[in-house]
Amino acid sequence: MSEKVEIKQVTNVTHDVRQFRLEKPQGFDFEPGQATSVRVDKDGWREEERPFTFTSLPDWDDLEFTIKVYPDHHGVTEQVGQLQSGDALLIDEPWGTIQYRGPGTFIAGGAGVTPFIAILRALAADDNLDGHRLIFSNKTEADIILRDEFDAMSNLAKTYVLTKEQKAQFGYGRIDERFLEENISDFSQHFYVCGPEKMVANINEALEGLGAKPDSLVFEK
């Protein structure tokens, strides 16, 4: 059953990513890492749905989405990018297979980091970030979503990788088998992978080739 939720606040996160705070329906519950199908509550758009991940925590009073918008692409994200406080979205029941299973490495590409935001926030709130690592790939430094928040998680190991820009203190290039072999020493841990479909498939294949067990890979199936 769909729920209509009003937007309470819109905040710019990067040049093309925005956070939306929304009212939370009574009794609405989800697990960190889960998503829902979202539709814009406007004429002509109520039948067009897209999946977005909750970046809020289940015990927050509000819901939150962190969404990359594409103003030059005619579609749902273009419409979402135009929304302001007082507008509304239609959301369905939560779903998703990306859920926390234990300490490990989170590997994200661009907006693929969104399922990990709530998981890492929950771990930080429980002071349980030791033994976790975030490997986060973006085109440029300016594209890194919530970098300040991740940097403030002092017990979280972090590796930022850029694919279109070479800068000191950042990795450069794609996260491929060579990168994984050079940067990870333990392939018996959990690996959480999210990003473009081809990236996820390639990284999972590389991880398995390096010794990771298939059931240790957590990704959206």
What is the pLDDT at residue 25? 96
> Does residue 97 sit within a domain?
no
> Does residue 118 sit within a domain?
yes
Over the chain (221 residues), the average pLDDT of each successive run of 10 is 94 96 96 97 94 97 95 82 96 95 98 98 98 98 98 97 96 97 97 97 98 97 83
What is the pLDDT at residue 76? 87
Tell whether 203 and 140 lie within a shared domain: yes
In 3-state terms, what secondary structure has residue 64?
A: strand
Side-chain half-sphere exposure of 217, counting CA atoms within 13 A: 20
What is the pLDDT at residue 77? 85
What is the pLDDT at residue 23? 98
Tokens 């969104």 appear where?
114
Tokens 């273009």 appear where?
78
What is the pLDDT at residue 221? 83
State how far the Cα of 193 lies from the Cα of 22, in Å rounded to an integer: 27
Domain at 33, CATH number? 2.40.30.10
Domain at 113, CATH number? 3.40.50.80
Tell whether 77 and 150 lie within a shared domain: no
Tell whether 212 and 108 lie within a shared domain: yes
> Does residue 96 sit within a domain?
no
Tally of domains within the chain: 2
- The two three-digit tokens of residue 45, written as one number: 């758009």
Tell whether 26 and 77 lie within a shared domain: yes
Q: Range of 157's domain?
A: 104-218
